Amino acid sequence: MRNVVVVGAQWGDEGKGKIVDWLSAHFDIVVRYQGGHNAGHTVQVGGRRFVLHLIPSGILREEKVCVIGNGVVVDPEALREEMAMLRREGISVAPGRLLVSHRAHVILPYHRALEAVLEQQLGEQRVGTTMRGIGPAYEFKYGRRGLRVGDLCEPQRAREKIMAIAEHVNRMLRVLGAEPIDPRPICDRYRELGEQIAPFVADTAYYLNRAIAEGRAVLFEGAQGTMLDVDHGTYPFVTSSHASAGGAAVGTGVAPTRITAILGVIKAYATRVGEGPFPTELHDDVGQLLQRGGGEYGATTGRPRRCGWFDAFAVAYAVMLNGCTALALTKLDVLDPLPEIKICVGYRRRRRILAEYPASCEELRECEPIYETIPGWQTSTSGLTRYEELPPPARRYIERVSQLVGCEIPFISTGAEREEMIIVPGRALERVLA
């Protein structure tokens, strides 16, 4: 039995899309377990670039089944557009090949309307969301006012629920000084969308558990990253779901005991989108070099990502939370030009070196990174596929990162293309692929 969770171990944007695409060759089913179309997973195959937001990256391999789990919030418009994009590119997206959980919650226009008003009113305290309605959809889910995909497939039931929820939303909008919305066009449009996605809807928890019982291998794809987890991340500058590995169980209906390994994905440096504390952020030429070299612009919004040195203190925390059995390191080649490279090995706050990652953003803002400097290699690693081909300083960098975060790194990405990967044999690799 091989059932592996792929999870971001930083602030998201670690390159999970490429890692999932590569790994999916070794699995039968790929399932997304949380988040919404605020996430963007970029995969490059044969010079063709795909940006996926809801559908798992495994869709690019024809023989794989892809599942959108119950922990995801689904915008039916975005899903329809993504399916159409893939079909235009010659990728099969058919019922039975793509399954959508009937328990997944639906994002509706009033979620976006609420988010826009609330984010505007926060002013300087804004979170920096993608304005896709993700947060309000999760709020309504946990407030027991949500509409689920299964409801959307029952037109009369969906209409009744949308009308009732809209009444509640309009009360909120009036209090906030915003214009109320007319729910009737929403009912009509979402009836049509419900008809379009109905052939893909299934009880995916039963499907996945039956598949596992039959010995099929399942790859669980996370969105965002551990440092954006709603409980364990840099709250309140976080996403609205459980982006850590624990979310895989509740977001799919597969018990934790069925999961055999956790693969954390890390970037060779650090990035963050949106607001919130970011201790190793660089505002100098090096930060700009990382941004340009790594193409650090959001796949979903196009927003430039904030860039900084690798934060081993934060990643060690993420490795602990997720119980990572192995790590995949991406974008090593972006560091190629640098004569020296810094790694954050800890934080100092008010002259005291911290033993544990801070729980509050107020504390985190007061932290200064403690750096260790190592020599760069200043030669190209782009496209290398054998560990022995890496320059010795690059190997020492990887080994030092592994030592500091307490986890082996058997996967090293050296470029955007699917096959630009170094695979390092050993126990950690066996735990993921055996």
Q: Is residue 26 annotated as part of the catalytic site, yes or no? A: no
Q: Tokens representing 352?
A: 């005291």
Catalytic residue among 21, 28, 41, 229: 41
369 preceded by cis ω (within 30°)?
no
Distance of CA 270 to the CA centre of its chain: 15
Cα–chain-centroid distance for residue 175? 34
Please indicate whether residue 41 is annotated as part of the active site.
yes
Sequence-separated (6 or more) residues with CB below 8 Å from residue 122? none
127 in Cβ contact with 119 (< 8 Å): yes
DSSP states of 1-58: --EEEEEESSSS-SSHHHHHHHHGGG-SEEEE-SB-TT--EEEEETTEEEEESSS-GG
Tokens 């999916």 label which residue?
A: 24
Q: What is the DSSP letter of 258?
A: G
Nearest to 406 by CA among 285, 307, 323, 306: 323
> What positions carry a catalytic annotation?
13, 41
